[in-house]
Amino acid sequence: MMHQFLLAGFGGQGVMLMGRILAYAGMKEQKQVMYIPSYGSEMRGGTANCSVILSEEEIDAPVVSKPSGLVVMNAPSFDKFETRIRENGLVIVNSSTVTREALRQDVKVIKVPANDMAKELGNERIANMILLGTLISATKCLKAESVLESLKEILPVHRHDLLPLNQKAIEAGMQLAISTPKRN
């Protein structure tokens, strides 16, 4: 099975980190992987997105024109990328920052109050990990263990004190995906 994801938000929200974790975890699971980051003109505060493909088969074209999954961390990203998701695709929306409803009725939507959940866990910067947990649980694209191992490898050693908090955030996102019905 092939999963094609587009992850988008402002620079500094951890969009690229989510993409790198997906790519590393995919490699751990012996999948074919493609990761392409795309930055706006600013590193922090500008737009940032990345494409990730995880596949059991060889990836023919490294282009994600119609992703099967979209994770948006802010309203401008939702406005820009909602039309690109394929029919019956999954859209995971950070409902802490995106207040409007999806315009499309042919996609599944999971609203995740990621910033609010992150504040409750003690650090708003882990909102991306909550969304990542929701994505892997809702799509079953990767095992949680692979994702957590990849996080440990990618996170700089001086940030390893944050691993337990990031793990809690991923687990909270996974649990939310299990308990939240997807809206079509």
Q: What are the tens digits of pLDDT across the range 14-72?
A: 999 999 999 999 999 999 999 999 977 655 667 899 999 999 999 988 788 899 999 99
Percent of the chain with pLDDT over 90: 86
Alpha carbons 140 and 132: distance in angstroms, whole number: 12
3-class DSSP assignment, residue 104:
coil
Asked whether residue 61 is domain-assigned, the answer is: yes
Q: What are the tens digits of pLDDT across the range 93-111?
A: 999 999 999 999 999 999 9
CA 117 to chain centre: 15
Confidence band of 157 (pLDDT split at 50, 70, 90): very high
Asked whether residue 120 is domain-assigned, the answer is: yes
Taking 80 as the threshold, does the pLDDT of residue 78 lie above it? Answer: yes
For the beta sheet containing 32-39, the strands, ordered from the edge strand earlier in sequence to the opposite edge, are: 32-39, 47-55, 2-10, 69-72, 90-94, 108-112
pLDDT, position 43: 56
pLDDT, position 64: 85
Asked whether residue 136 is domain-assigned, the answer is: yes
pLDDT, position 41: 63
Asked whether residue 184 is domain-assigned, the answer is: no
Q: Flag whether the pTM goes above 0.75.
A: yes
Rounded to the nearest 5°, which phi and psi values hold at 144? -60, -40
Burial of 171: CB neighbours in 10 Å, binned 0-12, 13-18, 19+: middle
Give the residue with greater pLDDT, 88 vs 65. 88
Q: Structural domain of residue 153, as residue ranges? A: 2-179
Say which CATH number the domain at 26 has.
Answer: 3.40.920.10
What is the domain count for the chain?
1
Asked whether residue 98 is domain-assigned, the answer is: yes
Summarize the confidence of residues 67-94 as an average pLDDT.
96
Asked whether residue 88 is domain-assigned, the answer is: yes
Asked whether residue 47 is domain-assigned, the answer is: yes
